[in-house]
Chains A and B, each alone.
Chain A
Amino acid sequence: MELTQPHSHNPASEIARQKRAEVVGGGHSFGSMTDKIAAIVLTSKTPIGWFAGFGLAFTLMALGLGSIGALLFLGTGVWGVNVPVGWGFAIINFVWWIGIGHAGTLISAILLLLRQQWRMSISRFAEAMTLFAVACALLFPILHTGRPWLAAYWLLPYPNTMALMPQFRSPLLWDVFAVSTYGTVSLLFWYVGLIPDFGNLRDKAKGFARYIYGFLSLGWRGSAIHWHRYETASLLLAGLATPLVLSVHTVVSFDFSVSVIPGWHATIFPPYFVAGAIYSGFAMVLTIAIPLRKFYGLEDFITMRHLQNMAKVMLATGLIVAYGYAMEAFYGWYSANQYERYMIWNRMTGPYWWAYAALIFCNGLMPQTLWFKKLRSNVSFLFFMSIIVNIGMWLERFVIVVTSLHRDFLPSSWGMYVPTVFDWALFVGTIGLFSTLLFLFIRFLPMIAIFEMRTILPATKEPSPEGTAVQS
């Protein structure tokens, strides 16, 4: 290989070095970085904070399980859903969780194809977050049905000679295809990405863990042909996952938009839903990343540049979502359809005005603060913003589901929706499930892709002082 000039005399190399420095700091070498990330998993001393967090998450999950028990034994009547509002918390939470599950694949697939290096340190746990969010989301449509014990397999599109079920015109069935495809591809992508790191951990671990990581690494030895196959598989999966990022929430939005109900029957739904999903997904990545980097001292890997970039994505998608709200209001008026007009008026001034007002505050006004670099660079503020956006996006689904249904066409069938303690317990329970899985993930799997991070270390591409280039 041709020898290059030392970087201090090459301006292009200097700029590249500075850019890399922003996505990984602290002057790490291959060894120090690997040790730092792997130590979180391989240490025999689990921090007390981990136990506290896991205990809390597990308690919340148990609360959710209690709620599921009541639901199965007593019936859907324990929830607050009723005749005009036949869909309540279950569908709101389903859409919310699926939306959160968008960021992982976006970060790992689309940003991989766009060769964005800043994705590397956050992609692993964003993908894990996606999987856990999809798992939480999948609970809801099944438990939402009156007979979940049948729904679990009746909705599967198995071939049947009766030509009865499933009915392919129903958007609910499209959901089954969309979400299961997304879940499968996300899981594969995540696992394939983990294989080289499993190999790494196998080599470092001692005792029984060595066998487990060895089994999970599927015989990874890091040979050239392994890397070649790994790169090919990653690219293929990224190519497969990219359209899925757009398709999942598009299909979820069809659940609403193919209906005739005012407030649901809108062509703007697919892009508006996808933007909202990415928006909430990035907010959740921030909600998790900020405490994680602090607790485990990962500021060198999840740098300010990562946080700022995520804030910028939130600002961009937040603007699209705000445009969606404006268009909904505009078409309510412009359609000259009395039902549409009443729907938007009822949203703004009806009994659920507080939800709409809070939604506009959280998703319309607050993200505008991200225009300012000073606020984007403030970690505490970003954490606060991410919580605001999570609340805002949940409220968006609440407003869409509840305010559209509770007053639709005939005033004689109007009613109110009030969630019960069982609704809340199940919602909180899924937050518990999500957190429990996340705590287990942090403890037992490397939350940052070690081998990918090596490729962006300055040592990887910079020539050594003696003039020999180091290969990744």
Chain B
Amino acid sequence: MNAETVERAPRRYGMVIDLDRCSGCGACMVACSAENNVPPAHPQATERTGITLLRVVQVKDAASRGVAFIPMMCQQCGDDTPCMTVCPQQAVEVDKLTGVVEQMPQRCLGCRYCMTACPFQARFFNWWDPEWPAGMETTLNPGAAPRMRGVVEKCDFCQSRMHAAEDKAAMEGSREFEYTPACVEACPTRAIVFGDLNDPESDVSRQARNSFRFLERLGTGPKVYYRSRRPWLRTLASRVGAPPKKENGNG
């Protein structure tokens, strides 16, 4: 698709996550796995070789005795996306019409260069053949293709939902559509807001103005924003923490 064939203005999808609202219930993780046909963990999988496109991370602050939960997923870097430039297969592309960093498993060799280049470690690898317990295949989401062994995957703001919404709008003769990613829909505290950052009137744009991003100084321009009133949480985003007592933390 090139710019001439597109009638609507390019969007820049982004998210704002209110950390003060997140209760760490993990509903977003479950919804994400179900929506994206993530297979159950392989019997030999460790806590570091599972596939969790969205992880809820627990953080603590000793001084204020504060606890918070941070949903982490692909931060959808917008500028000099580190994973995109290193991919030898052009399996990673930033969609010019939505700003979403897309992952195309069909092209992926599985060299895992994108995984090592990602400063957020938000990319996951299919270490084994995906297998579902008997009968569970029938519950798979027909909109999201399961990934084969040996390829990388990550959060793509539920492209399956976007395509479904786009198709529905097209059937009705329109090019305008709205959609909501699974995690946003599943969050019981409405901690996640999703929308077009290019639209100054959108909720996501307004909330993004008073928020912060992780690893902002790396200059990769993430489109996932976080909000909190707690000062320690706001400064956490650019701080190296003390090594966790137990390796692997709570990821």
Q: Which residues of A contact B (CB under 8 A)?
A: 74-77, 81-84, 86-87, 141, 144-147, 150-151, 154-155, 164-167, 169-173, 255, 258-261, 338-339, 342, 346, 350-351, 405, 407-416
Contacts and interface: CB of A to CB of B under 8 A. Distances in A.
7 contacts: A76-B127, A87-B112, A145-B150, A167-B89, A338-B239, A409-B215, A414-B244
Contacts of B149: 75-76, 146-147
Q: Which of B111, B243, B250: most chain A Cβ within 10 A?
A: B111
A260 B239 CA distance: 16
B116 A261 contact: yes
B48 A84 contact: yes
B125 A86 contact: yes
B110 A145 contact: yes
A74 B127 CA distance: 9
Contact of B150 (A75, A82, A84, A411): A75
Interface residues of B, number: 58
A164 B123 CA distance: 22
Q: Chain A CB within 10 Å — which of B55, B59, B89, B120 has the most?
A: B89
Contact of B109 (A145, A258, A346, A416): A145
Given A173-B88, A410-B214, A405 B116 contact: yes
B248 A170 contact: no
A259 B90 contact: no
B87 interface: yes
B162 interface: no
Give the interface SS of chain B, mostly helix, strand, loop or mixed: loop
Contacts of B125: 76, 83, 86, 146
A342 B240 contact: yes
B49 A77 contact: yes
B111 A415 contact: no
Contacts of A412: 55, 57, 59, 70, 72, 249-251
Interface in B94-130: 107-113, 115-117, 119-121, 123-129
A147 B218 contact: no
Contact of A170 (B55, B87, B120, B150): B87
B221 interface: no
A75 B131 CA distance: 13
Q: 5 tightest A-B contacts by CB?
A: A146-B110, A146-B150, A77-B127, A413-B121, A82-B48
Contact of A166 (B85, B89, B126): B89
A72 to B, nearest CB: 10
B42 interface: yes
Interface of B: 42, 44-46, 48-49, 55, 57, 59, 70, 72, 82, 85-90, 107-113, 115-117, 119-121, 123-129, 148-152, 214-215, 218, 220, 239-244, 247-251
B121 A411 contact: no
Nearest to A76: B127
B85 A260 contact: no
Contacts of B124: 83
Residue with the greatest number of chain B CB neighbours at <10 A, chosen from A77, A144, A151: A77
Contacts of B152: 146
Contacts of A408: 119, 121
B108 A146 contact: yes
A164 B116 contact: no
Contact of A411 (B112, B115, B123, B241): B241
Given A147-B110, A412-B249, A416-B247, A154 B119 contact: no
Given A260-B82, A411-B244, A172 B129 contact: no
Nearest to A409: B119
A82 B89 CA distance: 21
A123 B49 CA distance: 46
Nearest to A168: B88
B89 A260 contact: no
Nearest to A337: B217
Nearest to A165: B89
B109 A261 contact: no
Contacts of B241: 411
Nearest to A157: B88
Nearest to B124: A83
A165 B107 contact: yes
A170 B112 contact: no
Contact of A83 (B49, B89, B107): B49
Given A77-B128, A409-B120, A414-B249, A86 B112 contact: yes
Given A167-B89, A411-B240, A414-B243, 18 more contacts: A77-B49, A81-B112, A82-B46, A145-B110, A165-B90, A170-B87, A170-B88, A255-B113, A258-B85, A260-B218, A338-B240, A408-B119, A411-B242, A411-B244, A413-B121, A413-B249, A414-B251, A415-B48
Contacts of B45: 77
A144 B111 contact: yes
Nearest to B90: A167
Given A167-B88, A167-B90, A260-B82, A411 B249 contact: yes
B215 A76 contact: no
Contacts of A154: 89, 109
